[in-house]
Structure 1
Amino acid sequence: MAGHPCAGIQEAGGPSGTALTTAAVAFLISPYGIPKLAEWFIDRLDDLNCAIKSI
């Protein structure tokens, strides 16, 4: 369907999605990614703990 107006848009979305995935994986395996993710998760657990205590 090369004549379809959206054909070029769909093809252009592929590489950018791959680039975002690659950047996310690179961040996670970097020395900052996993500790930052763990810190964010612990902060959310702390927020949940405070919310439960305030009830």
Structure 2
Amino acid sequence: SGSKKPLPLPVQALDHATGYLMAASAVHALIRRAAHGEVTTARHSLARTAHMLSKTATP
């Protein structure tokens, strides 16, 4: 059959990408709090980052 198995991503790439997303979320939350007094939350996971990267990856 023509189905393709998903290729595993390097673990270090997932760690770094998730870390960058967490840092960006923290900066975004601080800016919103300073500008609008709002408190925001963010939820990140390695699995979600892997899913996002596999959907946007180009061959």
TM-score range, shorter chain: 0.3 to 0.5
Rg bigger for which structure?
1
TM-score by length of 2: 0.43
State the structure with bigger RCO (CA 8 A, min sep 6), 1 or 2: 2
